Amino acid sequence: MERQNFSTGTPWESLAGYSRAVRVGPFVYVSGTTASDASGQIQHPGDLYGQAIYIYQKIEGALKAVGASLQDVVRTRVYVTNMDEWQQATRAHHEVFQDIRPANTLVEVSRLATPDMLVEIEVDAYIMHEAQA
C-alpha cells in the first residue's frame, strides 16, 4: 500500500516533524489538531467551542486532501484543558458528528502546547468507498 502524507505548512508541523494527515490504503490518521491558523495564531482565544469548530473545519480539509471526508471518521479523541467546559466540546462534536457517530474519547489534560490552546482533537478514518470524480 502506498503512503500519502498531507501537511498544511503550519509552523508546528515543521517544528515537530509530522504530517497533518497520513493515509495508507483506506486508513487515514489525522494528527492532534489545535485552533492555530497557518501562521500559528490561535483562533477563538478563550472560546473552547469556537476552537473546536475551527479544528473540525481544519480536520475536514485534511481529510479531503487525502480523499476522505468526515463521514469516513470512525474514531475521535478530544483533549481539553478544563473538564468543567466539557459541554462546549461535546456540543461541537455533536454538531459535526451527530449522524456519523464515531467512537469518541474525551479527556482532560494538564495543558497543551500554548496556554491559549483549550482543546486538541485527533481523528481516525476508514474510507469504505472512493469518492467519484
Task: Report how far residue 95's alpha carbon sits from residue 111's, in angstroms, rounded to the nearest whole number.
Answer: 25
For the stretch 35-75, pLDDT in tens is: 999 888 999 999 999 999 999 999 999 999 999 999 999 99
Q: Tell me which residue range forms the domain holding 62.
A: 3-126
Query: Is 133 within a domain?
Result: no
Distance from C-alpha of 21 to C-alpha of 122, rounded to nearest angstrom: 10
pLDDT digits 0-9 by tens, 8-43 = 888 888 888 999 999 999 999 999 999 999 888 999
Domain membership of residue 22 (yes or no) is yes
* Residue 132 domain-assigned (yes or no): no
Dihedral of alpha carbons 31, 123, 61, 68, sign: positive
How many domains does the chain contain in total?
1
CATH number at 91 reads 3.30.1330.40
Domain contains 56: yes
Q: What is the pTM of this model?
A: 0.93
Q: Are 33 and 58 in contact (CB under 8 A)?
A: yes
Average pLDDT score over residue span 75-81: 98
